């Protein structure tokens, strides 16, 4: 097979959301898998709604995800002259025509059809006007749009996901390819651009499935090669509605901020609408490229489930190396672990990493190893602190001070004595110790925590803690 060229073509009217990221991912995977090319085209022809900040956001998000594109970004708006010249040539060769029906007339007709519960069809009034008849109306200063002259017949194509799709051309209107202000419309420019960019495979959301026959008709009118299409099912929110800005947390960068790694997000996204044909669910990028194919893409929409994302993320956290995790944490929060030695940071992480599901989890749980002073949550204190807690801490402090050594064996024997003395299980005994020491009720093993903190800090925290908490 020839090397495929695919593209991701977002419009910069909003942030890159999860659905867009999935589309980008599948394009990217298809390109990588087949040694192809992955291009980025910004569809910015809606000047009302397009904004540069969204272009920046989208490219940042793609880069962060690791879905880097080949070549320069193509801006659709910069091709407008090319688009317009094609429109002119189509009027000349009769594959398109000027239509002088106004928007208001159309709106009225549309409304009438709706009231009568009839199918609305755009009247083909001007379809067969000759060039000179059209010119005459133009000369009169009448505004016009340009419509594609759709021939009779059947339009069909084989979608890589949906299979054979067949539409009767009679069910299609002669749709507008250029507005009355001369600007070309989406279904038209997308074909020109895809053709100009030599796109071989159009992989996009299935909201475009019904547009595809129209686009094919444009390719045919222009005598261009029709690319292969693959439509991806939509991603739905928990309410089963198509994911949109109305849903909470659809922005890729929100997930970055929540502490998910790009690899975890990509892994989860790949599972939405694709199955690897095995029971494996945790993939790194290379696995994904290796296993990916369009044949195993689902036809039905998938619901985004953050619980499963969280699980996937936890699996990735278990695998990720400490060195990488340090880099990721510092990227997420530059002040994380500031002023600490690499050795200490990596010791902290080796205790905490495996009990975290996200980078933010990890930051939270590791924070106690970096702060100067513990701030105690009094709600938690009220739940776990009791009359003997202070006594336990005092006894522990005494024992630590008496012992010369501060190592695991020593700590074990200290706690052993305390257990006997207070007639408590280790679990009960260490609860107030952990809290006084870290302000938390969970975390790494208490001996490991104390040893990493060191004798001086333990003594300081315990004595300060017992004062504040008593």
Partner RNA sequence: GGCCCGUUCGUCUAGUGGUUAGGACUCAUGGUUUUCAUCCAUGCAACAGGGGUUCGAUUCCCCUACGGGCUGCCA
Under the binding rule (CB under 7 A), the answer on residue 232 touching RNA is: no
Instruction: Please give the full DSSP string across 376-418, using - where no structure is assigned.
Output: P-HHHHHHH--TTHHHHHHHHHHHHHH-S--SHHHHHHHHHHH
The CA-atom distances, in angstroms, between 205 and each of 3, 23, 246, 298, 411 are: 22, 7, 19, 12, 60
State which residue, 384 or 467, has the beta carbon closest to RNA.
384
Judged by CB under 7 A, the chain residues 431 through 460 that form the site for RNA are 431, 434, 441-448
Which phi-psi region, left, alpha or beta, contains residue 173 (left: φ > 0; alpha: ψ -120 to 50)? beta
**Which of 84, 211, 284, 340 contacts RNA by CB under 7 A?**
211
Q: Does 186 bind RNA (CB under 7 A)?
A: yes
Q: Closest separation between CB of residue 35 and RNA, Å?
A: 26
When the beta carbons of 70 and 354 are compared against RNA, the nearer one is 354
Backbone angles phi, psi at 270, to 5 degrees: -65, -30
- Residues in region 43-62 near RNA by CB under 7 A: 43, 45-46, 49
Q: Write out the E strands in 245-373.
A: 302-303
Q: Which is nearer to RNA, 301 or 339 (CB)?
A: 301
Residue 251 as a binder of RNA (CB under 7 A): the answer is no
- Determine the Cα–Cα distance for residues 247 and 260; give it in Å rounded to an integer: 19
- Partner residues linked to 166 by β-bridges: 156
Smallest distance from the beta carbon of 142 to RNA, in angstroms? 10
Residue choice 23, 57, 95, 185 for contact with RNA (CB under 7 A):
185
Helix (H) or strand (E) holding 201: strand 201-205
Candidates 64, 75, 84, 102; binder of RNA (CB under 7 A) is: 102
Q: Is the sign of the CA dihedral 271, 275, 281, 285 positive or negative?
A: negative
- Binding RNA by CB under 7 A: which of 51, 173, 330, 395? 173
User: Which residues 379-438 are close enough to bind RNA by CB under 7 A?
Assistant: 426-427, 430-431, 434
Is the CB of 2 or the CB of 116 nearer to RNA?
116
Min dist CB 2 to RNA, Å, is 27
Which one of 67-75, 86-94, 208-216, 221-229 is the stretch in contact with RNA (CB under 7 A)? 208-216
Q: Report strand pairing: 201-205 vs 145-148.
A: unpaired
Options 78-86, 123-131, 202-210, 332-340: segment touching RNA (CB under 7 A)? 202-210
Residue span 5-44 as binding mask against RNA, x where in contact by CB under 7 A, dash where not: ------x-------------------------------x-
Residue 254 sits in the site that holds RNA (CB under 7 A): no
Q: Which two tokens stand for residue 14?
A: 């909003």
Residue closer to RNA, measured from CB, 279 or 286: 279
- Residue 31 sits at φ, ψ, to 5 deg, of -65, -50
CB burial of residue 321 (10 Å; 0-12, 13-18, 19+): exposed
Q: Are residues 268 and 288 in contact, defined by beta-carbon separation less than 8 angstroms?
A: no
- How far apart, in whole angstroms, are the C-alpha atoms of residue 384 and residue 428? 10
Q: What distance lies between CA 289 and its chain's CA centroid?
A: 18
Rank residues 117 and 343 by Cβ distance to RNA and give the closer one. Answer: 117
Q: Which of residues 108-167 bind RNA (CB under 7 A)?
A: 110, 113, 117-120, 122, 143, 145, 162-163, 165-167
| Half-sphere exposure in the Cβ direction for 16 (13 Å, CA) | 27
Distance CA 335, CA 217 (A): 56
Q: Considering only the stretches 32-40, 79-87, 206-214, 397-405, report the one whose residues sit in contact with RNA under the rule CB under 7 A.
A: 206-214
Q: Does 215 bind RNA (CB under 7 A)?
A: no
**Is residue 209 close enough to count as binding RNA by CB under 7 A?**
yes
Which residue, 161 or 466, is less far from RNA as judged by CB?
Answer: 161
How near is the Cβ of 339 to RNA at its closest, in Å?
Answer: 26
CB of 296 to RNA, least distance (A): 6
Q: How far is the CB of 308 from RNA (least distance, A)?
A: 4
Cβ distance to RNA smaller for residue 238 or 338:
238
User: In 333-349, which positions are buried (b, 16+ CB within 10 angstroms) versus exposed (e)?
Assistant: eeebbeeeeeeebbbbb
Q: How many CB atoms lie within 10 A of CB 128?
A: 10
Considering the complex, what minimum distance in angstroms separates the CB of residue 276 from RNA?
9
**Residue found under tokens 């001007």:** 126
Nearer to RNA, 324 or 426 (CB): 426
In this structure, how many other beta carbons lie within 10 angstroms of the beta carbon of residue 314? 17
Q: Which one of 32, 127, 149, 355 is in contact with RNA (CB under 7 A)?
A: 355
Nearer to RNA, 177 or 252 (CB): 177
Q: Which of residues 332-351 bind RNA (CB under 7 A)?
A: none
Residue (of 86, 54, 48) closest to 189 by Cα position: 86
Member of 75, 311, 344, 376 binding RNA (CB under 7 A): 311
Which positions from 64 through 83 interact with RNA, judged by CB under 7 A? 76
Nearer to RNA, 113 or 133 (CB): 113
Which helix (H) or strand (E) segment is 342 a member of?
Answer: helix 342-352
Task: Extract the tokens encoding 91.
Answer: 């009027």
Contact status, residue 6 vs residue 36, Cβ threshold 8 Å: yes
């Amino acid at each position: 097979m020839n090397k495929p060229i695919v593209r991701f073509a977002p419009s910069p009217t909003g942030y890159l959301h999860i659905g867009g990221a999935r589309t980008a991912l599948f394009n990217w995977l298809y390109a990588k898998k087949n040694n192809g090319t992955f291009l980025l085209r910004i569809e910015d022809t809606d000047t009302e709604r397009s904004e540069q900040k969204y272009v920046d956001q989208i490219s940042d998000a793609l880069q962060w995800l690791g879905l880097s594109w080949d070549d320069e970004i193509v801006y659709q708006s910069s091709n407008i002259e090319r688009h317009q010249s094609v429109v002119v040539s189509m009027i000349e060769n009769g594959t398109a025509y000027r239509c002088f029906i106004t928007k208001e007339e159309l709106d009225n007709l549309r409304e009438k059809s709706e009231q009568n519960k009839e199918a609305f069809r755009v009247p083909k009034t001007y379809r067969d006007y000759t060039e000179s008849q059209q010119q005459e109306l133009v000369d009169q200063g009448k505004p016009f749009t340009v419509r594609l002259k759709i021939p009779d017949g059947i339009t069909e194509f084989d979608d890589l996901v949906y299979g054979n799709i067949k539409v009767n051309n009679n069910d299609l209107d002669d749709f507008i390819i250029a507005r009355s202000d001369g600007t070309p419309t989406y279904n038209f420019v997308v074909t020109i651009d895809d053709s100009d960019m030599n796109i071989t495979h159009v992989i996009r959301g299935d909201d475009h499935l019904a547009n595809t026959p129209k686009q094919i008709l444009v390719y045919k009118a222009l005598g261009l090669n029709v690319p292969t299409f693959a439509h991806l099912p939509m991603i739905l929110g928990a309410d089963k509605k198509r994911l949109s800005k109305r849903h909470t947390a659809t922005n890729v960068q929100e997930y970055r901020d929540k502490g998910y790694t790009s690899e975890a997000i990509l892994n989860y996204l790949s599972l939405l609408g694709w199955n690897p044909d095995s029971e494996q669910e945790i993939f790194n990028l290379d696995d994904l490229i290796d296993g990916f194919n369009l044949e195993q893409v689902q036809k039905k929409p998938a619901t985004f489930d953050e619980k499963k994302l969280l699980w996937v993320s936890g699996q990735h956290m278990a695998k990720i190396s400490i060195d990488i995790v340090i880099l990721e944490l510092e990227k997420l929060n530059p002040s994380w672990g500031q002023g600490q030695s690499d050795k200490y940071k990596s010791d902290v992480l080796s205790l905490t990493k495996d009990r975290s599901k996200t980078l933010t989890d990890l930051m939270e749980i590791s924070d106690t190893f970096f702060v100067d002073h513990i701030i105690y949550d009094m709600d938690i204190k009220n739940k776990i602190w009791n009359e003997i807690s202070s006594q336990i801490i005092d006894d522990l402090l005494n024992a630590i001070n008496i012992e010369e050594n501060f190592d695991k064996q020593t700590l074990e024997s200290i706690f052993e004595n305390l257990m006997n003395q207070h007639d408590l299980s280790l679990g009960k005994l260490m609860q107030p110790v952990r809290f006084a020491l870290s302000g938390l009720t969970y975390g790494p093993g208490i001996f490991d925590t104390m040893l990493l903190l060191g004798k001086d800090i333990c003594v300081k925290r315990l004595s300060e803690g017992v004062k504040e908490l008593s």
